[in-house]
Amino acid sequence: MRFKPDLTWADVTPKADFLNRRQLMKGAAAMGIGSIGGATMASANAPASIYSTDEEPNTLEEISSYNNFYEFGTGKDEPAEHAYRLTTSPWTVEIDGLVDNPGMYDLNDILSQVTIEERIYRFRCVEAWSMVVPWNGFELRQLLERVGVQSSAKYVAFETLVRPDEMLWQNYDILEWPYREGLRLDEAMNPLTIMATGLYGEELPKQNGAPMRLVVPWKYGFKSIKSIVKISLTEEEPETSWNMQNAREYGFYSNVNPEVSHPRWSQASERRIGGGFFATRQPTQMFNGYEQYVASMYDGMDLSENF
Ligand SMILES: Nc1nc2c(c(=O)[nH]1)N[C@H]1C(S)=C(S)[C@@H](COP(=O)(O)O)O[C@H]1N2
Ligand SMILES: [Mo]
C-alpha cells in the first residue's frame, strides 16, 4: 500500500515560521552542517547531549546484528538477515486523533522541521540483556508540538508498518499485527523520548527499525517500537502488543525496575552485549539509570503494580 501525502508541513505551519525555518535550513546547508541523506545525522560539531551516557557504546556490528524485530523473525540474528526486504522510501506517517493538524506526512517533511542530535543511551531489553547505543534522532515532543496536541489527549499510540510481502513473519500469528505501542502524553513529551533515524551518524539499519523508531531509554526495549507509520493522540490508554500477548508478564508502563521481577526471571541484573562469554552481569539500575529525569512522572504510583 502506498499513500500519497495530502498535507505537508507548509500546510500546518504558520507561513512566516515555515519560511524562516527553510531559510535557516538553507543557511545551515550552506555552512555544511545539518541534513545530509535525509536529515538522519546530527551535526558533527554539535555539543554532546546532557542526556548522553559516557559509557562505551556497543559497536555498530553488535547493535545491528543482535536484534528483536519479530516482523523479520524471532531469532536475534534473523532481523539482520531479512530486513533488507523492507522498502523505507518513500515513507509516510499518519498522525491522527486528538491533534489540530491530522494528516499523512511524508517523513522528509517531518525531518525538515526537527533538530536531529546524537543521544548515547543505555538500552535494556526485558529479556535482561543491554547495550549502549549512539542514536541520532529528534525529541518526539518537537513533532507533537508541530501537529498541535489537543488538551483532551492523554496518550500517544504508535503502530509499525504492516506489509507481509516484505515483513514475512507477519504471515504468521506470532503477534497480533501491527506491532503496537503507547506512552502516556507526559512520557511522550519527556525530553529523553526520541524518534531515532540514525545510528553512529549513518542511516538507521533496517533491522533497527528504519526509517524511524521510538526510543524510550528508561523503559524496557519492547516499548521502543520500530518502523513507525502511525501516531495517534488518544484519551484512552492504547492497546500494546506485548500486553495483548501476555498481560500477566508485560504491562503498559514497563519501566526498568531491578526490584520487580518478570514472572519467569529476575530483573536485578543484566548481561551487556559484547562483554564476552565470561563477562560478569552488571546490576540493573532503577529506570535504567534515568531516574533523575523521569521518576517525578510516577510520583504516588505503586511502581511494583505498574510493571
Ligand atoms: N515493530 C517492532 N518493534 C520492536 C520489536 C518488534 O518485534 N517489532 N521488538 C522490540 C524489542 S523486544 C526490543 S528489545 C527492541 C530491540 O531494538 P534493537 O533491535 O534496535 O536493539 O525493539 C523493540 N521494537
Ligand atoms: Mo526486548
Nearest to 206, CA basis, from 215, 214, 216, 197: 197
Rg (alpha carbons) of the chain, rounded to whole number: 19
Q: Is 193 in the pocket of ligand 1 (CB under 6 A)?
A: no
**E strands in 101-216:** 103-106, 117-124, 129-139, 155-160, 180-184, 194-199, 202-203, 213-215
pLDDT of residue 2: 36
pLDDT digits (tens, 9 = 90+) for 24-73: 444 444 443 444 444 555 555 677 999 999 999 999 999 999 999 999 99
Nearest to 132, CA basis, from 209, 217, 257, 192: 217
pLDDT of residue 30: 42
**C-alpha to C-alpha distance for 100 and 131, rounded to whole angstroms:** 38
Q: Which amino acid is at 1?
A: M
Determine the average pLDDT of the residues in 186-197: 98
Domain count, the chain: 1
Q: Which three cell numbers stand for residue 141?
A: 515532543
- Which is the closest atom of ligand 1 to the Cα of 131? 21
Least confident of 37-46, 63-72, 208-217, 261-270: 37-46
Q: Which amino acid is at 244?
A: M
Say if CB 238 and CB 180 are below 8 A apart.
Answer: yes
pLDDT of residue 41: 58
Determine the average pLDDT of the residues in 164-178: 98
* Distance from residue 19's CA to the centre of ligand 2 (Å): 41
**Other residues' Cβ atoms within 10 Å of the Cβ of residue 231:** 23
Domain range spanning residue 114?
A: 9-306
CATH of the domain at 302: 3.90.420.10
Q: Is 225 in the pocket of ligand 1 (CB under 6 A)?
A: yes
Does 1 reside within a domain? no
pLDDT of residue 43: 58
**Ligand minimally distant from the alpha carbon of residue 241:** 1
* Distance from residue 69's CA to the centre of ligand 1 (Å): 5
**Ligand minimally distant from the alpha carbon of residue 227:** 1
Does 108 reside within a domain? yes
Residue 4 has pLDDT above 90, yes or no: no
Does 228 reside within a domain? yes
| 270 bridge partner residues | 282
Does 3 reside within a domain? no
